[in-house]
Amino acid sequence: MDIARIDYWAASGGSVMHKASVPSKTLATAAVIATVIIGSYLPLLAALYLMVLISIRAAGLPVVKVMVISVLPGLFTLLFALSKLGGGLLIPVIILLKAFTAASAMILLLSTTPYNEILGFVGKLMPRVLRDGLFMTYRSFFILLNLMNNFITALRLRGGFQPKKFWRNSGNIGSGVGILFINAYDKSQRLYDVMSIRGYSGRLSGTHRYRAVSANDLPYLLAAAVFLGEAVYAMQSSRQGSLYSFAAVLIVYTFTMEVLRFWKR
């Protein structure tokens, strides 16, 4: 999964989804995942997946790339889905659709919300030292990722990767990982020293402000709530929603997102 690309999408976007507040997007994502968990009706899950894809398009994200990224977590459910082939294709398709929908919803949240805003919202339930540690770890990850990319480039330019020489290539990679570990330890110590000089006393300063509730918050949250309500109703009454109702929700949702997208321009 290309974490750097997702972080860039979250920080550089200005779409309707990007302008929505963190609490509304988090609640909508939770509603989508809850629907995935309790829902078992294929048309409902298919409509929910389409709703997430429409949201991805409204966010100005490349739909195909996001779908490819969401397939990677979904592959972990492939073996479980194949084990259910004895009862026909319906159950495996539902299992895979659930995995892809949940993964796409999470990627949508991460791709439209900077990490510090997510951590500021979710971190209220965490101890401060854990929240600060997660924030610093996330930022340090990209520094280490850049170091690893530079190492791989230098190794290729100097002939470190050669065909049919597995043990030599493995030794070079192992040496690189060892050097990366030493550099990571050295950089962490330097970072702590710099923060101590600048007054770090066990907590990071700053406040987490959220955007005010606006029209951008409503469509995604309401659509996710409607599908969750459909899933809960189907579970309690053993009656599945009609295809016409799912289509109506998708049409209204698509129209609303398009209106907001062009209006905000």
Query: Are 130 and 95 within one domain?
Result: no
Band of the pLDDT at 197, cuts 50, 70, 90?
confident
d(Cα 101, Cα 32) in Å, to the nearest integer? 8
Confidence check: pLDDT of 135 > 80: no
- Does residue 208 lie in a domain region? no
Q: By the 8 A CB rule, do 204 and 132 touch? A: yes
Query: Are 67 and 186 within one domain?
Result: no
Query: Are 52 and 86 within one domain?
Result: yes
Specify the pLDDT at position 234: 85
Specify the pLDDT at position 105: 94
Q: By the 8 A CB rule, do 4 and 145 touch? A: yes
**What percentage of residues in the chain have a pLDDT greater than 90?**
28
Q: Read off the pLDDT of residues 8-23 as tens digits, 9 standing for 90 and up.
A: 888 888 888 988 988 9
Query: Are 157 and 249 within one domain?
Result: no
Specify the pLDDT at position 37: 93
Confidence check: pLDDT of 28 > 70: yes
Domain-ending residue, one of 154, 172, 197: 197
For the entire predicted model, the pTM comes to 0.75
Amino acid at 254: T
By CB neighbour count within 10 A (0-12 exposed, 13-18 middle, 19+ buried), where does 90 fall?
exposed
Compute φ and ψ for 164, nearest 5 degrees. 65, 20
* Domains of the chain: total: 2
Query: Computed over its alpha carbons, how large is the radius of gyration of the chain?
Result: 22
Query: Are 22 and 91 within one domain?
Result: yes
Specify the pLDDT at position 265: 55
Domain-ending residue, one of 197, 230, 246: 197
Specify the pLDDT at position 203: 59
Alpha helices in the chain (DSSP H): 3-12, 16-19, 22-38, 42-58, 63-74, 78-82, 90-112, 115-122, 128-157, 166-197, 218-237, 243-263
Query: Are 110 and 227 within one domain?
Result: yes
| Residue 200 neighbours by CB under 8 Å, 6+ apart | 192
Least confident of 32-41, 69-78, 151-160, 204-213: 204-213
Band of the pLDDT at 33, cuts 50, 70, 90?
very high
Compute φ and ψ for 160, nearest 5 degrees. -75, -25
Q: Read off the pLDDT of residues 144-164 as tens digits, 9 standing for 90 and up.
A: 777 777 777 877 777 766 666
By CB neighbour count within 10 A (0-12 exposed, 13-18 middle, 19+ buried), where does 262 fall?
exposed
Least confident of 119-123, 189-193, 198-202: 198-202
Higher pLDDT: 135 or 231? It is 231
Higher pLDDT: 17 or 166? It is 17
Q: Which two tokens stand for residue 58?
A: 């409204």
Query: Are 82 and 9 within one domain?
Result: yes
Expressed as residue numbers, the domain containing 69 is 3-119+213-263
Query: Are 19 and 110 within one domain?
Result: yes
CA nearest to 113, candidates 211, 221, 255: 211
- Does residue 202 lie in a domain region? no
- Does residue 231 lie in a domain region? yes
- Does residue 203 lie in a domain region? no
Query: Are 90 and 219 within one domain?
Result: yes
Query: Are 100 and 131 within one domain?
Result: no
Query: Are 7 and 110 within one domain?
Result: yes
* Stretch 108-114: mean pLDDT: 91
Specify the pLDDT at position 206: 47
- Does residue 101 lie in a domain region? yes
d(Cα 238, Cα 121) in Å, to the nearest integer? 36
Query: Are 105 and 219 within one domain?
Result: yes
